[in-house]
Structure 1
Amino acid sequence: MTSGAQVLRYAVGGLGLALIGLGAWLVVAEPDPLGVLLWLAGALVLHDGILAPLVFGVGLLLVGRRQRGLWRGALLVAGCVILIALPLLVRPGAPPNPSALPLPYGRNLAIVLAGVAAAAGAVYLVRRGRDRLRRVRPQRDPGADARAED
């Protein structure tokens, strides 16, 4: 007898195989399938050769740091912003529609990244100040006064 988890596993596996087949069919149907395969190979090399080791290295640098979740979040937001803006920055030639990129994306990307860094730094400083105040002025336990009178 098959369990519900096993049925779900086979259904998801079948869906995955169907999507792989669709992707392969779409690559073959392209006018330049070799160009698509070359792009996919480049994306694989970029991810596995540069991006993944870089993320791993930054993760190792953050181990044991205070507020590492804050820094991970800031790096995640910065990475997403870069991934969105990068294709527009590295595209060769003028855009087909001049109104699509009317502003300097490089400068604006730097401004957004500086804003992310400033926001993360401000949150870090606020949290650090709050922690410092807690150490200087510990929270009083209201039950301690009642126990002291006993």
Structure 2
Amino acid sequence: MGVRYALGALGVAMMGLGGVLTLRTGTAGEVVLWLAGAIVLHDGLIAPLVLGAGPLLAALPARGTVRGGLIVAGALTLVALPLMLRPGSAPNPTVLPLDYVRNWLVLIGVVAVGTGALLGVRRLARRRPSQRRLSQRRRS
């Protein structure tokens, strides 16, 4: 119980430090704008997509594997999205020299292929024991 209170107090202290540093640097308006954008993005796009995908996934026999693939794809998207949506070009061309949209698409494809391969391997693993039982019944 004491550890929980200590970690809670540390978290509150770190939030206070973040608030003080934000006010000192004069970026409070940008932080508020970013937080408002995050709320709109979450409530207007991410939450409806997740709620809509729920009933569709419930009908799948391998919903856990598909859900895992979607979580990985979503995490990759959250990491890559700020770099993909960055307006204009960087002042220093060596800072962000990569084609982030192409690389994100490649990674999403890798996740999709990996998820499909895992589903295939699991399906084959489930079939084999039943085929063994069937061949044993034929022998006896």
TM-score, normalised on structure 2? 0.81
> Using the alignment, how far apart are the partners of 1:89 and 1:61 within structure 2?
29
Q: CA deviation at 1:24?
A: 1.9
Q: Residues 105 and 9 from structure 1, CA distance in 2 versus in 1: closer, same or farther, beyond 3 angstroms?
A: closer
Structure 1: where are the runs of 5+ without partners?
A: 141-150
Q: How does 1:33-48 map to 2 (within 5 A)?
A: 33-48=28-43
Instruction: Extract structure 1 runs of 4+ deviating beyond 3 A.
Output: none
Tell me the alpha carbon deviations over residues 15-56 of structure 1, each in whole angstroms, 9 at most, x when there is no partner. Answer: 222122122212212323212211111112212332233223
Q: CA deviation at 1:64?
A: 5.0
What code does the residue aligned with 1:15 have?
L
Tell me the alpha carbon deviations over residues 60-80 of structure 1, each in whole angstroms, 9 at most, x when there is no partner. Answer: 322253222211221121112
Structure 2: where are the runs of 5+ without partners?
A: 136-140
- 58, 69, 72: which one aligns with 1:74: 69
Tell me the alpha carbon deviations over residues 97-146 of structure 1, each in whole angstroms, 9 at most, x when there is no partner. Answer: 21233332212211111111011111111211222232232299xxxxxx
Aligned to 2:33, the other structure's residue is in SS state helix
- Determine if the alignment matches structure 1 residue 24 to structure 2 residue 24: no
- Determine if the alignment matches structure 1 residue 65 to structure 2 residue 60: yes
Q: Considering fraction of residues, name the structure with more helix.
A: 2
Q: How does 1:98-137 map to 2 (within 5 A)?
A: 98-137=93-132
Q: Residues 31 and 126 from structure 1, CA distance in 2 versus in 1: closer, same or farther, beyond 3 angstroms?
A: same
- Determine if the alignment matches structure 1 residue 96 to structure 2 residue 91: yes
Aligned to 1:137, the other structure's residue is in SS state helix
What code does the residue aligned with 1:113 have?
I
> Using the alignment, how far apart are the partners of 2:91 and 2:134 within structure 1?
62
Aligned residue number for residue 50 of structure 1: 45
Q: Percent identity?
A: 48
Q: Residues 103 and 32 from structure 1, CA distance in 2 versus in 1: closer, same or farther, beyond 3 angstroms?
A: closer
Aligned residue number for residue 143 of structure 1: none
Aligned to 2:89, the other structure's residue is in SS state coil
* Segment drifting more, 52-61 vs 124-133: 52-61
Q: CA deviation at 1:85?
A: 1.4
Q: Cα RMSD between the aligned structures?
A: 2.3
